[in-house]
Amino acid sequence: MTKKSAAAIVAAGAALALGLSACGGGGADTKKTEGGSSGASAAKDVPNAALEAVFNPSDKKGGTLKMAVSEDWDSVDPGDTYYAMSWNLLRIYGRPLVTFKPDAGAKGRELVPDLAESLGTPSDGGKTWTYKLRAGVKFEDGTPITSKDVKYAVLRSMDKDTLVNGPTYFNDWLDLPKDFKSVYKTPDVNTDQAIETPDDQTIVFHLNRAYGGFDYFAALPGTVPVPKAKDTGVKYRDHVVASGPYMFEKVEAGKQYTLVRNPNWDPATDPIRKALPDRYEISLNVNADDLDNRILAGDLHIDLAGSGVQPAALSRVLSDPAIKARTDNPTQARTWYTSIIGDVPPLDNIECRKAVIYGADRVGLQNAYGGEFAGGDIASSLMPPSIGGWKKLDLYPTGTGDVEKAKAALAACGHPDGFETNMSYRADRPKEKATAESLQQALAKVGIKLTLKGYPTSDYYSLYAGKPEFVKKNKIGLATNGWGADWNDGFGFMSQITDSRTIRASGNYNLSVKSPEVDALIDKAYVETDVAKRDALWGEVDQKVMENAFVLPGVYSKAVLVRGAGMTNAAVSGAWDMYDYLNLGVS
């Protein structure tokens, strides 16, 4: 379905380009020849050109790649970061065991060995995973990288008291000794039962239960080697020791990072990186609108966040064919949705939950999230299409709201005249505010009266919508929500938001999916080693979530990305759903 709409956009873009050239032909001839000559040196800009193939490929070295982001990010320390842009970018200075192939579209989802010679070798039925490191790989100071550096990096990344950001997959899955707390607190505990390093080139992971997709764990930034002697805990972010082709020249926290070539990186040990620019300049905390304008003006190459242009620039980008030709519009592995919380009566009744889904104006919700380009396609389920096992579900109509069906569901629920409930949203997110307002309008038509409650984003999960006690006390029946995959498979997307056993006293992302049936399916998916069967199980989880009306899906998120002028090797990777930052260059 996504493919189809993407093709339609390409066709529309091509039609636009045709119309444009026709205009040029009728008007100024000189202009046309000028366009032709410049077109010879660089590839012709076409909308969505970087979605399925590398756009403007080049091996030309040199130049400075300029990136910017409108906020600060959690950390550049590979063991202390949970931002997708960070996971994508850090590979220019750090080498994880395994990584995603720097390529466009679905090809970018393929795992390839990076620091390791090959993908992991499972044994013991998937409970033990062995990797062999490449020979001759060095840190920026010339010290050879050994498997001990990788082991240390993984262990330190698990100390979430010191390095607070980042996932906890290693904590949950490695077979750690009981008395091990952290590399900082209990440095002397022997951890060989979890990670073994029989020699300098070999590293063996021992899990507490079998997991067939361990290569995804090996691709986490936690496996980027860290020399124990240089580790300064939370301050390591001020000087991350490079193992990739670039190293930090200057670190000005919250302001700017500059990276230069790492003289000790040997291209012979690295088949996936091109390392084209001489320098990277990364500005932080740039005003978001200013950032868009500078990319459009050619002053910047990339918006690091990869979440698309701001609403103000959107109309300019889409209405100017020349700029539109420089855009890519990928569907991301992210769904924006509304949790329908069964803890709050009368939503404990499935028919009342269904009434909410029937009554919702799905087109209105799509508009609230930004429309078909900046928002995304109307979602029919929780799981986005780029996740394996996704199938298009047709359980509910996706039009502007079905009053008849909603009323019927309300009658079945025992509230024929509707009911009252509250809806929470993140007050500083205009799109979620618009979502709540749209739902309030649509549901009023079937007699469901919503009172809207805006809460600050920073505490949304820790104090408000993610805290069951608060939700029950304040009778919050609906809550805007959104989730992006840590990596593109069912586990990476669904495990945190559908497993009812992950629900804690606060800080939950799963606000509403509580079903033993779903939990049982998730357990089956964990132990299934066959990829196709595992994907099918996650697809079934998705279907059960929708059948039980636990969520009202909004959109499968899309973003309007703009390619900076003169940027080479642009490819929207299917792993990150933004430009792959590994092989970008400047012409």
Partner 1 sequence: MTAPIDPPSATVVEERPQAGPGGTPGTSIQGRSLGQIAWMRLKRDKVAMGGAIVVILLILIAIFAPVLVGWFGHPPNEFHQEMIDPATQTPKGGSGIGWDFLFGVEPLNGRDLFSRVVYGARISLLIAFFATLLSVVIGTVMGIVAGYFGGWVDTLISRVMDVFLAFPLLVFSLALIGVLAQFETSLAVKGDTLRILLLIFVIGFFNWPYIGRIIRGQTLSLREREFVDAARSLGARGPYILFREILPNLIAPILIYATLLIPTNVLFEAALSFLGVGIPAPTATWGGMLSDAVKYYTVPHFMFFPGMAIFITVLAFNLFGDGLRDALDPKSSR
**Site of interaction with partner 1 (CB under 8 A):** 289, 310-316, 318-319, 363-364, 367-368, 370-375, 427-428, 430, 433-434, 436-438, 440-441, 451-456, 463-464, 470, 473-475
Cβ atoms of residues 349 and 343 within 8 Å? no
Closer of 423 and 582 to partner 1 (Cβ): 423
Beta-bridge partner residues of 303: 68
CB of 564 to partner 1, least distance (A): 21
Place of tokens 């986490």: 220
CB of 467 to partner 1, least distance (A): 10
Closer of 141 and 428 to partner 1 (Cβ): 428
Closer of 398 and 451 to partner 1 (Cβ): 451
CB of 431 to partner 1, least distance (A): 8
CB of 343 to partner 1, least distance (A): 15
Could you give the C-alpha distances from 188 to 79, 181, 184, 202, in angstroms and in order? 20, 10, 9, 21
Which contacts of 316-323 are long-range, i.e. CB under 8 A and separated by 24 or more positions?
317/560, 317/562, 318/373, 318/560, 321/16, 321/17, 321/19, 321/20, 322/20, 322/45, 323/296, 323/562
Judge residue 263's burial from the number of C-beta atoms within 10 Å of its C-beta, 0-12 exposed, 13-18 middle, 19 or more buried: exposed
Q: Which residues of 330-342 are buried (b: 16+ CB within 10 A; e: fewer)?
A: bbbbbbbbbbbbb
CB of 241 to partner 1, least distance (A): 40
Closer of 258 and 367 to partner 1 (Cβ): 367
Closer of 1 and 312 to partner 1 (Cβ): 312
- The Cα–Cα gap between 134 and 124 comes to 24
Task: Give the count of beta carbons closer than 10 Å to the beta carbon of residue 238.
Answer: 14
Tokens of 97: 């065991």
Tokens of 17: 């380009």
CB of 47 to partner 1, least distance (A): 12
- The Cα–Cα gap between 76 and 581 comes to 15
CB of 369 to partner 1, least distance (A): 9
Closer of 373 and 390 to partner 1 (Cβ): 373
- The Cα–Cα gap between 539 and 545 comes to 10
Closer of 78 and 401 to partner 1 (Cβ): 401
Closer of 181 and 433 to partner 1 (Cβ): 433
All residues at 6 or more sequence positions from 187 whose CB lies less than 8 Å from its CB, including other chains: none
Concatenated DSSP letters of 107-158 = GGGSEEESSBSSS-EEEGGGTEEEEEBPTT-B-TTSPBP-HHHHHHHHHHHT
- The Cα–Cα gap between 150 and 95 comes to 10
CB of 289 to partner 1, least distance (A): 7
Cβ atoms of residues 302 and 92 within 8 Å? no
Residue type for position 187: P
CB of 472 to partner 1, least distance (A): 10
CB of 352 to partner 1, least distance (A): 21
Closer of 95 and 326 to partner 1 (Cβ): 326
Closer of 473 and 533 to partner 1 (Cβ): 473
